[in-house]
């Protein structure tokens, strides 16, 4: 797993490396912190350019393309699925009513909604 370093930690290590000028002092610092010399050179480049924000961790990977319509699209898809389920239930109920009316010999045109008869 790749380690992530905060801007403050990077700044602190760079200051310690610059302050330690004794023989082997930087190597000891790197061993103690579990770092490589490439870390120092990578962190010094943006620091030389005076970019404080450049020392902060950068998110790796592809940039996300946020679509502002995505939440509404998801909501509409869920509503569509719900309505399709209700439609399927209604069609099933109508099929059962047709079969029951055929078995009982009742014409569907004779029966009115809410149980009213003409």
Segment 77-94 shows an average pLDDT of 97
Tell me the two tokens of residue 7. Answer: 């801007």
- 54-82 residue pLDDT tens: 566 667 777 778 888 999 999 999 999 99
Q: What is the DSSP letter of 22?
A: S
Q: What are the residue ranges spanned by the domains of the chain?
A: 7-55, 82-110
Which residue, among 39, 15, 11, 37, has the nearest Cα to 24 in the 3D structure?
37
- Is residue 22 scored above 90 in pLDDT? no
Rounded Cα distance between 118 and 113, Å, is: 11
What pLDDT score does 82 carry? 98
- The model's pTM is 0.41
Residue 10 has pLDDT above 80, yes or no: yes
- Residues 6 or more apart whose Cβ sits within 8 Å of residue 92: none
């Amino acid at each position: 797993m790749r380690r992530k370093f905060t801007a403050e930690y990077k700044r602190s290590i760079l200051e310690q490396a610059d302050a330690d000028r004794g023989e082997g002092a930087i190597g000891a610092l790197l061993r103690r912190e579990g770092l490589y010399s490439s870390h120092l050179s990578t962190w010094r480049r943006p620091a030389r350019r005076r970019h404080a924000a450049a020392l902060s961790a950068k998110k790796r990977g592809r940039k996300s393309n946020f679509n502002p319509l995505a939440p509404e699209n998801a909501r509409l898809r869920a509503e569509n699925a719900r309505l399709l389920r209700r439609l399927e239930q209604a069609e099933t109920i109508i099929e059962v009513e047709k079969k029951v009316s055929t078995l009982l010999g009742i014409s569907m045109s004779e029966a009115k909604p809410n149980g009213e008869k003409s």
